[in-house]
Amino acid sequence: MAAQEERELVVEAAGRLFVQLGYDGTTLQMIGEVAGMSPPEISRLVGDKRQIYLEVMNRYYNAEAAHMRAVMERVPPDLPGLHTLVDRYLDYSVAHPEMRALWVHRWLRDAADVQDVESLYRPLIAAVVEMFRGAVRADYDLELGLWNIIWIVNGFIHVGIVDTDGERRFADHPPTLRRFRAYMHDMLERSAL
């Protein structure tokens, strides 16, 4: 197997483990077991655990950012466009829950010693704010509003909501997904206008 293929194998294995166990709960030994390599081989190919984690976070972020930027190219910079962007963010998050899982781990102080991961999002958040600033009322804090959407989507994807029957429902339950989507749009309308 070529070094690049081995590197990919390591990063993919590490990504799955970081999603399931978090950074702090994952060891190089565990990554090696999943990838079929020894920790020294992993270190030679990719680096230490911190470097692997940053590679995983960068890859997941780059895929999400490319998706969101493609959506931004197709929507107008008005409130309906912002609603479409929020819908596509929710759809992407439902289809790719692994990114949301990594962030839930971080918010629980996982990988607290790995700094500046959050800075990955600064350019994308800034671009969305710049694009849609004129679509919301002048005193609305759109940046904080976007973070709020990110937070509630993460919670919905991984914690779900308890419905009126006492059942915990997640995004794979179409009526619950529709209810959550409608709530997100209502929240955006009420707060941004």
Q: Which parts of the chain fold into alpha helices (H)?
A: 3-21, 28-35, 39-45, 49-74, 79-95, 97-107, 122-132, 142-159, 174-192
| Superfamily for domain range 1-47 | Homeodomain-like (1.10.10.60)
**For residue 1, pLDDT beyond 80:** no
53-192: what fold? Answer: Tetracycline Repressor; domain 2 (1.10.357)
pLDDT at 187 over 90: yes
DSSP state of 133: G
* The pTM of the whole model exceeds 0.85: yes
Q: 10 Å Cβ neighbour count for 21?
A: 14
Provide the 10 A C-beta neighbour count for residue 20: 12
- Contact (CB, 8 A) for 168 and 174: no
List every span in the chain annotated with CATH 1.10.357: 53-192
**Regarding predicted confidence, which is higher, 53 or 1?**
53
- pLDDT tens digits for 93-108? 999 999 989 989 998 9
Indicate the SS3 state at residue 151.
helix
Burial (CB count <10 Å: 0-12, 13-18, 19+), residue 162:
exposed
Structure tokens at 65: 């950012």
Q: For the segment 37-92, what is each residue's pLDDT rounded down to a tens digit?
A: 999 999 999 999 999 999 999 999 999 999 999 999 999 999 999 999 999 999 99
pLDDT digits (tens, 9 = 90+) for 126-174: 999 999 999 999 999 999 999 999 999 999 999 999 999 999 999 999 9
Check residue 34 and give its pLDDT: 97
**pLDDT given for residue 75 in this prediction:** 98
- Under DSSP, is residue 96 helix (H, G, I), strand (E, B) or coil? coil
């912002």: which residue's tokens?
A: 82
Q: What is the pLDDT of residue 55?
A: 95
User: In the prediction, which pLDDT does 121 show?
Assistant: 87
Q: If we measure between CA atoms, which residue out of 60, 145, 49, 53 comes closest to residue 97?
A: 60
Residue intervals in the chain for CATH 1.10.10.60: 1-47
Q: What are phi and psi of 171, to 5 degrees?
A: -65, -15
* pLDDT for the residue numbered 2: 85
